[in-house]
Chains A and B, each alone.
Chain A
Amino acid sequence: MVGIPLGMAVITLILSKIHNRIADISATATTIATAAMSFYLIGTGESTYWMGGWFPPFGITLVFDGLSSLLLIIVNTVALLSVVFSLSYMEKYTAKPKFYSLFLFMLAGMNGVVLTGDLFNMFVFLEIASIASYALVGFGVEHEELEASFKYLILGTVASTMVLLGVALTYAMTGSVNMADVSAMLKSFPATKTMAFAAGAFIMGFALKSGLVPFHAWLPDAHPSAPAPVSAMLSGVLIKAIGVYAMVRVIFDVLGASPVFLEIMLVLGALSMAVGGFLAIGQWNLKRMFAYSSISQMGYVVVALGLGTHLGFIAGLFHLFNHAAFKSLLFLSAGSIEHATGTRDMKELGGLAQRMPVTSTTTAIGALSISGVPPFNGFFSKLLIILACVAAGRWFLAALAAGVGVVTLLYFLKAMRFSLFGELPKALSNIKEVPFPMAFSVIALAVVCLAVGVIFLVDPAFSDIFLQPAAEVLMDGLKSNASSYIASVLGG
Chain B
Amino acid sequence: MLSHTSLYILDIALMGMGIYALIAKRHIIKKIIGVVIIEYAINLFLILIGYRAEGVAVAPIQDAEIGATELAAKAVDPLPQALVLTSIVIGLGTLALMAALAIKLYEKYKTFDMSEINRLRG
Contacts and interface: CB of A to CB of B under 8 A. Distances in A.
Contacts of B45: 165, 168
B90 interface: yes
B73 to A, nearest CB: 15
A131 B101 contact: no
Interface in B68-122: 79-80, 83, 86-87, 90, 93-94, 97-98, 101-102, 104-105, 108-109, 117-120, 122
B42 A153 contact: no
A288 interface: yes
A247 to B, nearest CB: 19
Contacts of B35: 154, 157-158, 161
Contacts of B118: 147
Interface stretch (A31-39, A138-146, A269-277): A138-146
B39 A161 contact: yes
B104 A141 contact: yes
Interface in A111-149: 120, 123-124, 127, 131, 134-135, 138, 141-144, 146-149
B122 A148 contact: no
Contact of B94 (A149, A150, A157): A157
B45, B49, B87, B93, most chain A CB atoms within 10 A: B87
Interface extent on B, as a size class?
20 to 34
A146 B42 contact: no
Given A150-B101, A161-B38, A168-B45, A143 B108 contact: yes
A134 B87 CA distance: 18
A266 B36 CA distance: 33
A426 B87 CA distance: 55
A146 B38 contact: no
A124 B105 contact: no
A150 B104 CA distance: 10
B42 A225 contact: no
Contacts of B104: 138, 141, 146
Nearest to B82: A120
A482 B87 CA distance: 29
Given A120-B83, A127-B90, A168-B49, A147 B38 contact: no
B38 A171 contact: no
Contacts of B117: 147, 150
A284 B46 CA distance: 46
Contacts of A279: 122
Given A120-B83, A127-B90, A168 B28 contact: no
Contacts of B109: 143
Contacts of B93: 127, 131
A220 to B, nearest CB: 7
Interface in B28-61: 28, 31, 35, 38-39, 42, 45-46, 49
B49 A153 contact: no
B101 A146 contact: yes
Contacts of B28: 150
A283 B121 CA distance: 10
A142 B101 CA distance: 11
Interface string A449-462: 00000000000000
24 contacts: A120-B86, A124-B90, A131-B93, A131-B94, A131-B97, A138-B104, A144-B120, A146-B101, A146-B105, A147-B105, A150-B117, A153-B94, A157-B39, A158-B22, A158-B38, A160-B94, A161-B35, A164-B87, A165-B42, A165-B45, A168-B42, A168-B45, A168-B46, A168-B49
Closest 6 CB pairs of A and B: A172-B49, A221-B120, A127-B90, A168-B46, A150-B101, A143-B108
Given A153-B97, A154-B31, 14 more contacts: A120-B86, A127-B90, A131-B93, A150-B102, A153-B94, A154-B35, A157-B94, A158-B35, A160-B94, A164-B42, A164-B46, A168-B46, A171-B83, A282-B122
